[in-house]
Amino acid sequence: MRISVDKDDPGYRDWLLGSRARIWLDGIEITHVITADEEAREVTRYATNESGLMYPNEAKDGAQRETLRGTVRVELPPMVQQWIEQGVAKQPAQGIRALIDTRVI
């Protein structure tokens, strides 16, 4: 599975934004992830220092990115995983928002 929060990436799915997906690389949870691809075995994320602060990019107009390679595991919340299994996640975001709006909390 490939997921991304980058609109220019083929793995971008607007319904995943805010889904609290968890990304693991070689058994270690990775934060600040932009794109995760289990098949390509790559994670692109914002580069951080030991304190977790992001490094600015060379142009100083955003954060520096880094690509890490290894065994990637994407863990989606149960509700999102259920939507994928039911085929709901293939619909436009409005379809999923409608499900969210109608569920009992």
First and final C-alpha spacing in the chain: 29
pTM listed for this prediction: 0.73
Q: What angle do CA 36, 12, 41 make, to 5 degrees?
A: 20
Q: Give tens-digit pLDDT for 17-51.
A: 666 789 999 999 998 999 999 999 999 999 998 88
Of all residues in the chain, the percent with pLDDT exceeding 90 is 36
Task: Select from 70, 8, 64 the least CA-distant residue to 32.
Answer: 64
Per-residue pLDDT band at 89 (split at 50, 70, 90): low
Q: What is the mean pLDDT of residues 86-97?
A: 54
| pLDDT (0 to 100) of residue 105 | 35
Q: What is the pLDDT averaged over residues 73-79?
A: 87
CA-closest candidate to residue 15, choices 73, 91, 72, 78: 91
